[in-house]
């Protein structure tokens, strides 16, 4: 795994695939419609997590563009349930974006509503923390293994994102066990909230690991919807997800840009702020009451990261893997 990571990090090549399956340019919906492909933005947030976008308006925007959407709220499925109640011709994939114990985010897509409800009630709802839209207390390995029991597709979200959600960094710091990839179907190679270069790294990462490709806008505002779409020839959600698993799909689009995303970031921050104090209080209470050992939590690691990089992290309980050494930490940082 470390050899693969180093190969990916040092690669300066542009995204290239013999099938032209990843294209960083604005989608031409008219041209794509003529090819008779199903186009779906596979990463959309609603007001039920850290967005203020109403489900009805999301579906209206998608219908206007002629695309489908995957509702992927953070650790929540209320947006999916609301979409199922609205009469619309828009294809909707029931999905969820789960913040894992170690930090990285995982997207899980389902073909049936009853499956995502069962998955959520069993493996997500009992493990939410004070801020319900950040990390849960579910380990990434447990999450993907649980998802594999359903008719689902598992994709690693924005693997080269910033801070603790960065997958390669988490692996090289000894926090995340890379064996979880045995239960992963795909990698999100184009994400609307990530820079062009980070998306390039994600694509090279996916190819190095022989993973399938997904992509989505990661929209928190209506104007972002459709900026990135995943395309496949399919007549149903089930066929669409099967096409991805079989590598018969393409991902098209590009980020909307940092300046344009400022309103979205402001809305996102406002949603999280209401949980800031409760989250900090719960962590401190658990520590003072002896419910967790300081050395057994990720607090020490995150404080170290703050000192090293200046990032601001909020703590979640995690038991560091036994036997993991962190001699790679110093060399890993030069890649980020």
Distance between CA atoms of 320 and 329, rounded to whole angstroms? 15
Quick one: which of 99, 107, 91, 97 has its CA closest to 58?
91
User: Could you give phi then psi for residue 180, rounded to 5 degrees?
Assistant: -65, -20
Identify which has the larger pLDDT, 6 or 327.
6
DSSP H or E stretch at residue 116:
helix 113-123
Using a cut of 0.85, tell me whether the model's pTM lies above it.
no
**What does the block give as tokens for 6?**
């180093």
Highest mean pLDDT among 14-23, 112-121, 299-308: 112-121
* Residue 4 vs residue 214, higher pLDDT: 214
To which residue do tokens 């004070």 refer? 130
Backbone φ and ψ of 202, nearest 5°: -65, -40
Query: Which of 93, 67, 90 has its CA nearest to residue 80?
Result: 93
* DSSP states along 164-195: GG-HHHHHHTTSS-GGGGGG--EEEEEETTS-
Q: What is the pLDDT of residues 79-90, one digit of tens each?
A: 999 999 999 999
**Cβ pair 140, 282 in contact under 8 A:** no
Does the pLDDT value for residue 314 go beyond 50? no
**Percent of the chain clearing pLDDT 90 (strictly above):** 64
Both structure tokens of 232: 């496949």
d(CA 336, CA 333): 5
- Domains of the chain, earliest start first: 2-265 (3.20.20.140)
Flag the least confident range among 112-116, 188-192, 197-201, 279-283: 279-283
Site of tokens 């029931």: 94
Q: Which residue matches tokens 């900090």?
A: 280
Query: Are residues 336 and 169 in contact, defined by beta-carbon separation less than 8 angstroms?
Result: yes
Within 10 angstroms of residue 88's Cβ, the number of other Cβ atoms is 17
Q: Is the pLDDT of residue 14 over 90?
A: no
Sheet holding 92-99, edge to edge: 22-23, 250-253, 228-232, 38-44, 68-71, 92-99, 105-110, 152-156, 186-191, 212-216
């Amino acid at each position: 795994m470390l050899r693969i990571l180093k190969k990916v990090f040092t690669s300066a090549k542009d995204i290239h695939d013999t099938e032209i399956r990843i294209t960083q340019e604005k989608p031409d919906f008219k041209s794509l419609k003529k090819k008779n492909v199903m186009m779906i933005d596979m990463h959309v947030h609603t007001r039920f997590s850290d967005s203020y976008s109403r489900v009805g308006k999301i579906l209206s925007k998608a219908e206007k563009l002629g695309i489908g959407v995957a509702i992927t709220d953070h650790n929540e499925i209320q947006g999916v349930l609301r979409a199922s109640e609205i009469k619309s011709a828009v294809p909707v994939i029931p999905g969820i974006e789960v913040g894992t114990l170690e930090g990285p985010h995982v997207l899980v897509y389902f073909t049936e509503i009853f499956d995502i409800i069962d998955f959520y009630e069993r493996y997500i709802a009992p493990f939410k923390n004070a801020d319900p839209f950040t990390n849960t207390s579910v380990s990434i390995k447990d999450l993907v293994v649980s998802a594999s029991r359903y008719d689902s597709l598992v994709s690693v979200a924005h693997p080269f994102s910033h801070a603790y959600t960065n997958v390669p960094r988490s692996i090289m710091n000894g926090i995340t066990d890379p064996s979880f990839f045995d239960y992963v179907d795909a990698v999100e190679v184009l994400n609307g909230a990530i820079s062009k270069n980070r998306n390039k790294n994600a694509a090279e990462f996916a190819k190095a690991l022989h993973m399938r490709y997904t992509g989505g806008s990661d929209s928190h505002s209506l104007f972002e919807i459709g900026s990135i779409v995943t395309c496949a020839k399919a007549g149903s959600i089930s066929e669409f997800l099967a096409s991805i698993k079989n590598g018969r799909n393409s991902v098209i689009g590009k980020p909307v840009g940092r300046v344009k995303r400022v309103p979205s970031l402001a809305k996102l921050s406002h949603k999280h702020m209401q949980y800031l104090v409760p989250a900090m209080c719960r962590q401190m209470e658990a520590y003072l009451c002896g419910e967790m050992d300081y050395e057994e939590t990720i607090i020490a690691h995150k404080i170290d990261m703050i000192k090293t990089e200046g990032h601001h992290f909020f703590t979640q309980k995690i038991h560091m893997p036994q036997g993991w050494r962190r001699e790679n930490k110093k060399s890993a940082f030069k890649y980020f």
